[in-house]
Amino acid sequence: MRTMRTEERSQLAEPPNDAGAARRRRPRPRDDRRAAWLFLVPALAGFVIFYGYPTVRGVWYSLTDYNLLSDPTFVGGDNYAQIVRDPQFWHSLGVTGYYVVINIGSQMLLGLLLAALMHRLTRSVALRAMLLLPWLVPNVTVGLLWIWLLDADLGFVNHLLKALGLGTVGFFVSPDWAMPTIGLVNTWAYTGYTALLLYAGMLQIPPHLYESAALDGAGELRMFRSVTLPMLRPVLALVLVVSLIGSFQIFDTVAVAAGGRGASSAIRVIYYFIYQQAFQYFHMGYASAAALLLALILGVLTVVQLRLLRASRSDLA
């Protein structure tokens, strides 16, 4: 750590185009590029085999009529033409959007709050570890846990509601409640993780900013608004983009909530739609086209967000 810092400092100290610098630099024994490639090979191989190749196949399948069993037949853009006219596709996109708004909205707000508390109030390691606990539980287990807790008839939460004189709620079964319930269950599972990422970002903010703000008489709220938030922007943008993409990929909680009976239309998110088309109806070509459209939509969303939040530029520099 220390040596690295010294190196950094000496590098920084070197003015560019200094003749003395060239003299002092030792001749490089060999080209590192070959070694670099060697180090890249494992990751690259994994990427090509598990992402690149399937993606190319997916693109091909999306242009075919393929039921997994017979050979695919080329149909050109038919799948795409059909999808944009498929109300189920748009419905499931809408359902997913609704979920993402609920999930990301609550998750980011709660995460920010928790991170700020950890940053300014207590830095207890035990507390941080506890926040992460729900994130460590496998998604299917989270789903099953909450399905039992929130069951309309036999669940503990409804038992409490009833004891308090409030009516019971069919959290997972009522079309009005199902999606918000799933969204908040996943918020419960992921907020700790989001908070930790944001907290790490907050640690990068120079403490002297807070000191001067305090000297100027700013309270905690004002500091949060005028120091923390602007300084955190690039990290915030990254966390937002990553969790948004993750949130769009909601599947397991829905599949668990659906049980063996198939998800009701109120919770049929886009991934569930694709899964059903591919592995229940055996419309592999159609499912691939839907998956590619989704990737396209996510790509556009990501670019727009990064642009809007100017994520690549930091106010710290």
Partner 1 sequence: MNTTKRAGLALLALSLAGTLAACGSGGGQEQGGAAGGTVTIDYWLWDDKQLPAYQACADAFHKAEPNVTVKITQTAWAQYWQNLTTQLAAGQAPDVWTDHGSYYPQFVSSGQIMDIQPFVDRDKVDLTQYQEGLADLWVKDGKRYGLPKDWDTIALVYNTTMLAEQKVKPAEMADLTWNPTDGGTLQQVIAKLTVDENGRDGLDPAFDKTKVKVYGFLPEWGDGSQGQNGWGDLAVANGWTYLDKNPWGTRYKYDDPKLAQVIDWYKQLIDKGYAPKFDKQSTLGRDAVLNAGKGAMSFAGSWTISTFLGPDAEQKFALAPMPVGPAGTRKTAINGLSDAIFAGTEHKEEAWKWVKFLGSAGCQDIVADSAVVFPAIKTASDKAAAAHQAAGRDVQAYLGPTKARGETFLLPITDHGNEISQIVQDAIQSVVLGQVGTAEGLKQANDQVNALFT
Q: First and final CA of the chain: distance in angstroms?
A: 22
Q: Which residues from 65-84 bind partner 1, rule CB under 8 A?
A: 67-70
Of 158, 145, 161, give the one whose Cα is nearest residue 253. 145
**What letter would DSSP give residue 267?**
G
Q: Which is nearer to partner 1, 69 or 215 (CB)?
A: 69
For residue 8 the two structure tokens come to: 């950094």
Least distance between partner 1 and beta carbon 233 (Å): 42
User: Which listed residue (152, 213, 214, 298) binds partner 1 by CB under 8 A?
Assistant: 152
Backbone angles phi, psi at 151, to 5 degrees: -55, 140
Other CB atoms within 10 A of residue 108 CB: 20
Q: Does 186 bind partner 1 (CB under 8 A)?
A: no
DSSP type of residue 224: I
- Enumerate the β-bridge partners of residue 73: 65
Q: Contact, 253 vs 139, CB < 8 A?
A: yes
For residues 259 and 83, give the distance between their C-alpha atoms in angstroms, rounded to a whole number.
26
| Nearest-angstrom CA–CA distance, 229 and 315 | 11
Binding mask 191-230 for partner 1 (x = CB under 8 A): ----------------------------------------
Question: What minimum distance in Å lies between the beta carbon of 238 and partner 1?
Answer: 35
Q: Which parts of 161-180 interact with partner 1 (CB under 8 A)?
A: 168-170, 172-177
Spatial separation of the C-alpha atoms in residues 315 and 101, rounded to whole Å: 28
Per-residue binding string, partner 1, 110-149, x by CB under 8 A, is -------------------------------------xx-
Binding mask 259-278 for partner 1 (x = CB under 8 A): xxxx-xx----------x--
Pick between residue 3 and residue 70 the one whose CB is nearest to partner 1. Answer: 70
Instruction: Select 33 or 261, whichever has its Cβ closest to partner 1.
Output: 261
- Closest of 177, 173, 186 to residue 257, by C-alpha: 173
In terms of Cα–Cα distance, which of 128, 90, 91 is closest to 111?
128
Number of residues that bind partner 1 (CB under 8 A): 31
Side chain identity, residue 230: P
Q: Which stretch binds partner 1 (CB under 8 A): 20-28, 64-72, 123-131, 218-226?
A: 64-72
Which of 73, 122, 124, 280: binder of partner 1 (CB under 8 A)? 280
- Residues at the contact surface with partner 1, assessed by CB under 8 A: 67-70, 147-148, 151-154, 168-170, 172-177, 257, 259-262, 264-265, 276, 279-282
